[in-house]
Structure 1
Amino acid sequence: MLLTDDQTDQRSLLRFGTEAVELLIQRDFSALADRFGYARAYDRRASEAIEVDLATCLAEAKQEVSHVTPWQTVKYFKPNDTNLFAVVECVVRMPEGASVLVELIVREGGSGRHVSLEDISLA
């Protein structure tokens, strides 16, 4: 998703993180994929890849209740050759009890800065 110049501050990026987490909790994989894409989709449809990767995380958690406190943060990268600008990290407790780390990445490119869903993993 292309960002405007006023959407790269911490508050704006945290809102994107909150939005992504809410869509994940609601299991609205299509809306999540449409809004943010999914870097780890590879040769799969993004929405299906998100669904499968979340299911894998939940299975790995073995339905145990996590004691990880949900949190969000934004980290900015120093100027680099990989065009990475920032990462938004969000830990959310899923209804099943497992805690999941949702990572959004902001990259700089010729057409501006873009935010995308980078990864979903067990926290």
Structure 2
Amino acid sequence: MKITAKQINDVELKEHALKTIKLIEEEKYEALADEYGYALSFNENPAEVIRKEISQCLEQAGQNATLVSIQNPNVVVKYFEPNDIPLVAVVEYSLAIENGTGTVFVELVVSGEEENCNISVEQISYVFA
């Protein structure tokens, strides 16, 4: 998703995270992929890769594991020092799991320069607790 440099701040980046959380909780993977893409889809259908990775995370969490909605998710925004890539920021959050252990960890990455910036889903992974 294209964003401007003015949108790269804690408040607006957290809003993007909350939007992606809602799309994942509602299993709207097509909408998530259409809006944010998925960096690790490797030329496969991004929505299908997202669905598969969420499913794999839940399988690792336990046989009956499901995602559970949480009221105030902890969203962390971190900024990179200026670099050549150019990576600007990473937005991280964890999704709660019910009937299992661990969490689903999601990273959004902001890249680009000046008015040519993007925010996209970078990675979805399972974290054992």
Task: Give, in angstroms, the shift of residue 94 of structure 1.
Answer: 4.1
Count of residues in Structure 1 that have an aligned counterpart in Structure 2: 121
Partner of 2:92: 89
- Describe how 1:16-95 pairs up with structure 2 within 5 A: 16-62=16-62, 63=64, 70-94=73-97
Partner of 1:100: 104
Any unmatched runs of 5+ in structure 1? none
Q: Which amino acid aligns with 2:43?
A: D
Task: Give, in angstroms, the shift of residue 73 of structure 1.
Answer: 0.4
Task: Give, in angstroms, the shift of residue 103 of structure 1.
Answer: 0.5
Q: Which amino acid aligns with 1:116?
A: S
Q: Distance in 2 between matches of 1:43 and 1:2?
A: 20
Any unmatched runs of 5+ in structure 2? 67-71
SS in 2 for 1:59: helix
- Residues 33 and 47, structure 1, Cα contact 8 Å, conserved in 2: yes
Task: Give, in angstroms, the shift of residue 92 of structure 1.
Answer: 1.6
Change (3 A) 1:37 1:96: farther
Greater mean deviation of Cα atoms: 75-84 or 93-102: 93-102
SS in 1 for 2:3: coil
Q: Which amino acid aligns with 2:85?
A: T
- Provide Cα deviations, 1:86-115, integer angstroms capped at 9, x if missing partner: 000011214555521111000015861100
Greater mean deviation of Cα atoms: 106-115 or 55-64: 106-115
* Structure 2 residue 126 is matched with structure 1 residue 122: yes
RMSD: 2.3
Identity of aligned residues (%): 33
Runs of 4 or more, structure 1, over 2 Å off, are 94-98
Q: Which amino acid aligns with 1:75?
A: K
User: TM-score, normalised to structure 1's length?
Assistant: 0.88
Q: Distance in 1 between matches of 2:119 and 2:33?
A: 12
Task: Give, in angstroms, the shift of residue 116 of structure 1.
Answer: 0.3
